[in-house]
Amino acid sequence: MTASLAIPSGAERARGLTLAAEGRCAAAVEELAPVLEQSPDDAAAWFVTGTCQARLGRYRAALFSLDQAKAVDASLPGLELRRGVVLYHLRELDASAAALRSAETRGATGELLLYQGLLALEPGGEDRRARAEDAARLFEAAARLDPSIEPAGSFYAGVAHRAAGDEGRARDAFEAVVQGWPDSLWRVDAERALAEAPEPRRPWAELMGGIEWDDNVLLRGSGVALPSEISSERDIRGVWSASAGGTLFESLDTLVSGRISYFGRAHRDLSDFDAHYPTASIWVDQRVLPETWLRAQLLAGYGWVDGDPFVSNHEASLSLVQEWTRGRSSFGVDFYRDNFRFDNVDAVDGPAQVGAPCFSPSDLICGPPGLDESRARNRDGNGLRLRTDHSVFLADWVPSIDVGYTFHRFDARGREYSFDAHELRVGSLFQLPLALRLGISGFFAYRPYRHPTTFPSTRGLVANRRYALPERLRRERTYEASVNLSRPIARWDDHYRAHFRSSSHVSLHASWAAIFNICYLCD
């Protein structure tokens, strides 16, 4: 039995080249495979095959085909450009640069300038700012020379301007993509780039006001009686905040910024929980890789509740932030110190036996002998948080889904409030018509305290009798769900510089939120 060998015809070769010209690359590669097997010296067929393999993302196979074409006929038009592009995607950057320089001898094209700009943006070298500026010029020249490069040319020009430290031109480039190509995927990337500027490079201010309804303002635990002077733990409150800040120092890879903020709230009925909390912070962002930032931050705050000093705190944190194509991850550690500004009261000592009469008939209640409650309930102390947060960017109407976990340890001076906790957070923001934004978030904390509580058990509490203490360690579980509807009212920025004669911007927001808190305290 003799096997017959089918010899590819000229028609098959022509059909493969036609399929490639029509953009049907998978079919073209398959059609040209037997042609190349029988005619390995067909440089044009190798070149077309390599070009199609590159379009299909098969870069290693594409490089082999293009090298075969070069071995047969190194003078093929566009061959070195195509090799330079493929080598760039294979991350063989030196070889890519050499191939693109060779292609440059045949004249500049938009694609050539685009990839030369991408190479200029790669990390390495001494003067990164100058290389980023060169990249921006190359991207802009590519778009002028070949309009089909757009909107990639404008988008990468924005990336280059941002890398060079020119945030104004970067925003202009990204906004040009958003406005000029509203139906392209590049618009999504440009909008994300506009939203992801590390920090405003100019003075800024933001004002917010709104109304919240909270079903458990007191964070009253299950099984805990409501104080007689409070009719309900539910209440409506007004909330407001103001922030202002700006850049203190900026270089290519380093940004130093500062901010002062103030938050306030006033309840309709539970005015004892009205609060004011101003803070000041300063932080340094340091780029360690093209998409990786290290942030060091210091923060100080002071809070009043019901008009009386309540707490002062100081915090130092370190975070590593990694940007992904469709998201962001951060890992951080926080160290803080709380100093509570109120005094604890030492309960009157009673007899050793639980339920026995107090020593004085005038004592409403009395506690265990020898226990100094004022010392045991001292909440001053140091805290440590180890946290990780992740954001995934989705469609336009669901900008992101955020998930986070924190291990939280607090060492109080008194034994009452020392704990090791686990905290989970999840949230998402929805873009609605009329510029409305719907935020939905959830929070869960499991907080086991290290020592039994010094507060009396609510069961069997009798006037003028020695109360009992719970024997089990306290376990606190907190669940919180929040729904927030907000809308930006106004924004003034560089577009209105003629009116304000300033490069600053001011934003105004209004919001309404419903917050549901459930706090379970187990003896």
> What CATH code is carried by the domain that includes residue 285?
2.40.160
In a domain, 171, yes or no: yes
Q: 212 and 184, same structural domain? A: no
Same domain, 382 and 258: yes
Residue 511 to residue 407: CA distance in whole angstroms: 30
Q: What's the pTM value of the predicted model, to 2 decimals? A: 0.62
d(CA 9, CA 318) in angstroms, rounded, equals 67
| CB 457, CB 467: distance < 8 Å | yes
The verdict on 422 and 350 lying in the same domain is yes
Among 133, 167, 195, residue at a domain's last position: 195
Whether 250 and 186 map to the same domain: the answer is no
Give the integer Cα–Cα distance in Å for 503 and 102.
45
In sequence order, the β-bridge partners of residue 349 are: 367
Element (H, E) at 300: strand 292-305
The verdict on residue 397 lying in a domain is yes
Are 365 and 480 within one domain?
yes
Residues 354 and 301 reside in one and the same domain: yes
Name the DSSP class of 161.
Answer: H
| 422 and 314 both lie in a single domain | yes
User: Max CA-CA distance within the chain?
Assistant: 118
Residues 229 and 309 in one domain: yes
Q: Are 190 and 230 found together in one domain? A: no
What number of H helices and E strands is found in the chain?
A: 13, 13
**308-324 vs 475-492, strand pairing mode:** unpaired
Query: For the chain, how many structural domains are there in total?
Result: 2
Domain membership flag for residue 201: no
Does 202 fall in a domain?
no
As a whole number of Å, the end-to-end CA separation of the chain is: 90
231 and 179 in one domain? no
Domain for residue 297, yes or no? Answer: yes
* C-beta neighbour count of 228 within 10 angstroms: 6
Q: DSSP letters of 411-442?
A: EESSGGG-EEEEEEEEEEEEE-GGG-EEEEEE
Structural domain ending residue among the three candidates 195, 227, 253: 195
Judgement on whether residues 40 and 143 belong to the same structural domain of the protein: yes
For residue 65, the SS3 value is helix
> Is residue 359 located within the same domain as residue 448?
yes
**pLDDT tens track, the chain, 523 positions:** 333 334 445 788 888 888 888 888 898 888 888 888 888 888 888 999 999 999 998 999 999 999 999 999 888 888 999 999 999 999 999 999 999 999 888 888 888 999 999 998 887 666 778 888 889 999 999 889 889 889 989 999 999 998 887 888 998 999 999 998 988 888 888 888 887 765 555 687 888 888 888 887 876 666 566 666 676 778 888 889 999 988 888 776 788 999 999 999 999 988 888 999 999 999 999 988 877 889 999 999 999 999 899 999 999 999 999 988 778 899 999 999 999 998 888 999 999 999 999 999 999 989 999 999 999 999 999 999 999 999 887 766 666 789 999 999 999 999 899 999 999 999 998 888 877 888 888 999 999 999 988 888 767 688 899 999 887 788 888 888 888 888 776 655 433 333 333 334 455 555 565 655 555 444 3
Which of 144, 162, 157, 155 lies closest to 181, judged by CA? 155
Distance (Å, rounded) from C-alpha 338 to C-alpha 410? 10
Backbone angles phi, psi at 117, to 5 degrees: -65, -40
Q: Which domain holds residue 353?
A: 208-235+245-486+505-522
**Does the residue 136 lie in any domain?**
yes
Query: Cα–Cα–Cα angle for 337, 214, 386, nearest 5°?
Result: 30
Calpha distance 244→506 (Å, rounded) = 9
